[in-house]
Structure 1
Amino acid sequence: MLKLTTAVFTAVIALAVNAPANAQTALKWGHAYETSEPFHTEALWASEEIEKRTQGRYKITVFPASQLGKENDLNQGLTLGAVDIITSGSSFAARSYPPMGVTYYPYIFRSPDHLIAYTKSDIFKELAAGYEKASGHHITAVTYYGTRHTTSNKPIKTCEDLRGVKMRVPDVPAYLAMPKACGANTAPIAFAEVYLALQNGTVDAQENPLTTIEAKKFFEVQKNIVLTGHITDHVNTTIAGRRWAKLSDEDKKIFTEVTQEAATRGTKIVQEREAALVQTFKDKGLNVQEVDKAEFEKVVLAKVPLSDFGYKQEDYDRIRAVK
């Protein structure tokens, strides 16, 4: 009996010693995008890859389509403990650290490649560090979301053609810059209501990436697609500060590497889809209009300067200088 008791005791002690090493931590990853979009499919890939590379120490469940709340809720959830990882735009990060919003100023990025180069630059590291200090949360990766263009009821060839046009724009200061500079009358209609607003004439125009114009079928109610290319949009993969602090250096490296790989994969998918959509829309009989972006940029700089938003000229200049 004594031998049996000793053996049982030894086994219990062994289990107790080994339990922490084998324990699995469950994490929640939330975002607002649909399951068909790369921001979801690549988050799924990343969650599986992190579980694999950490030998099962982390089990990440991805919640798409605002299941854990809208973007504002998700950003608050990082602090409240409702979510561990989110995919969300810099416009929301800018609510904690306003200088992050400079990346939404029209035409600051020349192209998606310029955006990606920026994410590897010193100025990005400084802005991300400022955000982390202000919010407590850590950005590990940036994914290209798409270049924002305009759809309208009438052909638009110049900035002046937007004067007086009723245009739906997200209620984010920098998003308003181009329409405001061109004289459009902006309306912050909820995203879910945009299709109906375009259909019934509540607004005459809206702006979004080509992938969104396709996914939300705005092309059904707007026959003019104007390639204004005014904002090179992007989303961040952000980990809650309380969670980041608990990761070992090894796991921080794994989370960073995997989310950056997922961002690269997602960026590639978006770029390929955008390239194909121009011809797709033409094939549907839509009027796809090229414009002089330099002319739009000149008007924006003159009529809605950086100072209107409290952005730093130095940050703008450094981002523009990134090669």
Structure 2
Amino acid sequence: MNLKMSVKQLTLGLVVSLAASGVSAETLRYAHVGAEGDLQTRFASEAAAAINEATSGNLEIEVYPASQLGGVAEMVDGIRMGSIGMGHHDFASLARIVPEVAVFNAPYIYRDAAHALAATDPETPAVKEINERLIEEGGVRIVGRIYRGARHVSSNFPVKLPADLEGKPFRAVPLDLWVSMVKGFGANPTPVAVSELPTALMTGLVVGQENPLTMIAANKLYEVQSHVALTGHMHSVLAVFVNEKAWQSLSDEQRSAITEVLDKKADESLEWAQSSESELVDELKGHGMTVITADDGLDLDAFREQVSAQINQDFPNFGPYIEQIAQVE
């Protein structure tokens, strides 16, 4: 293999090497920011193994978890440029390319977890329309998704109403959609990268945050937070996306194998998240957290009304896509 070809393939996030048998094997670099123990980390590692098996060892997915290849912005830029072949994060992380893609992470738009997974299938009309724009404008293609669980609010004081968060510094994922949502909570949005979140909570830079229970447990946020309110304001669905040139460089069989594996793993991720919810609540209680539900006075309608009003104000272009999402069975 000459140097020119090697450099070209590396820029696509693909590395081609000669196996001992003389058969070419390709390696696709896959990056994400999830910590060890998080459901998304399990997804990536199991999907990588399944893809390798489905392609008879001719395609290896090399996973780099826990922000090893950079934070969210660096990862997305790397996939756009091709230095990283593949990765996953919230749909909204691609909003710098196509702003409307953030709709798939919007709060209160899914009926339940199964609807969230069905509505984010890459073959649905809304995702296909967005995908065409992502490919054309950013060279990135959505090829799968992960259901990670409902997102809930954690804090170091009881939260039952948006008024309880009024004016307080609250962590926002460093994306416009999350900043808008936290404004809807009534709090002061403070963008913090996930890798810096425990320290930000410990030092009081922020007094609360929101995430699925699996992330709260995996990142041991119970060490710096005393309460979790089961607001379920957002169904966390992550997009799995790939550099378009790298995708086109794969064979039809390899692309089909990736798609089939990711579809199967998406269904499994839903099962993982739903089966672990009650166990995670018990685990967090065991670590001393106070869990607040509607039975304890948590006003879910107040959160829904206030957050939805803020999102509708800040993202009026979401309307047509929300209608398409609502029509998915």
Name the TM-score, length of structure 2 as normaliser: 0.84
Partner of 1:9: none
Give the Å deviation of 1:20. Answer: 12
> CA contact under 8 A between 2:147 and 2:236: conserved in structure 1?
yes
Report the more deviating stretch, 44-53 or 80-89.
Answer: 44-53
Distance 1:20 1:239 in 2: 29
Distance 2:234 2:307 in 1: 12
Partner of 1:138: 141
Distance 1:57 1:311 in 2: 43
Partner of 2:81: 80
Partner of 1:279: 282
Distance 1:201 1:251 in 2: 48
Specify which of 308, 311, 314 is matched with residue 314 of structure 2.
308
Distance 1:284 1:48 in 2: 33
Report the more deviating stretch, 238-247 or 305-314.
Answer: 305-314
Q: Residue by residue, what CA displacement relative to the aligned partner does 1:109-136 show, whole Å, maximum 9, x if unpaired?
A: 2322121120233222222333223222
Give the Å deviation of 1:21. Answer: 9.5
Specify which of 191, 196, 199 is matched with residue 194 of structure 2.
191
Distance 1:53 1:190 in 2: 35
Distance 2:87 2:242 in 1: 7
Q: Map 1:1-323; keep pairs closer than 5 Å.
A: 22-120=23-121, 121-290=124-293, 291-302=298-309, 304-323=310-329
> CA contact under 8 A between 1:30 and 1:64: conserved in structure 2?
yes
Partner of 2:6: none
Structure 2 vs 1, CA of residues 277 and 253 (structure 1 numbering), >3 Å: closer, same or farther?
same
Distance 1:194 1:69 in 2: 15
Report the more deviating stretch, 89-98 or 38-47.
Answer: 38-47
* Paired residue type of 1:205: G
Give the Å deviation of 1:146. Answer: 2.5
> CA contact under 8 A between 1:33 and 1:64: conserved in structure 2?
yes
Distance 1:62 1:128 in 2: 24
Structure 2 vs 1, CA of residues 164 and 313 (structure 1 numbering), >3 Å: closer, same or farther?
same
Give the Å deviation of 1:249. Answer: 2.4
Distance 1:71 1:310 in 2: 25
Percent identical among aligned pairs is: 32
Structure 2 vs 1, CA of residues 54 and 280 (structure 1 numbering), >3 Å: closer, same or farther?
closer
* Paired residue type of 1:313: G
Structure 2 vs 1, CA of residues 226 and 65 (structure 1 numbering), >3 Å: closer, same or farther?
same
Give the Å deviation of 1:89. Answer: 1.8
* Paired residue type of 1:75: V
- The residue matched to 1:154 in structure 2 has which SS? coil
Structure 2 vs 1, CA of residues 293 and 110 (structure 1 numbering), >3 Å: closer, same or farther?
farther
Structure 2 vs 1, CA of residues 245 and 223 (structure 1 numbering), >3 Å: closer, same or farther?
same
**Which of these two proteins has the greater Rg computed from alpha carbons?**
1
- The residue matched to 2:189 in structure 1 has which SS? strand
- The residue matched to 1:24 in structure 2 has which SS? strand
> CA contact under 8 A between 1:96 and 1:135: conserved in structure 2?
yes
Distance 2:166 2:118 in 1: 34
Distance 1:35 1:199 in 2: 20
Q: CA RMSD in A?
A: 2.4
Name the TM-score, length of structure 1 as normaliser: 0.85
> CA contact under 8 A between 2:114 and 2:270: conserved in structure 1?
no
Report the more deviating stretch, 247-256 or 135-144.
Answer: 247-256
Give the Å deviation of 1:150. Answer: 0.9
Distance 1:50 1:76 in 2: 24
> CA contact under 8 A between 1:43 and 1:262: conserved in structure 2?
no
Q: Residue by residue, what CA displacement relative to the aligned partner does 1:174-218 show, whole Å, maximum 9, x if unpaired?
A: 112333123212222333333233233332222121111112222
* Paired residue type of 2:279: A
Distance 1:35 1:292 in 2: 33
Structure 2 vs 1, CA of residues 204 and 259 (structure 1 numbering), >3 Å: closer, same or farther?
same
- Matched residue count: 304
Q: Which runs of 4+ in 1 moved over 4 A?
A: none
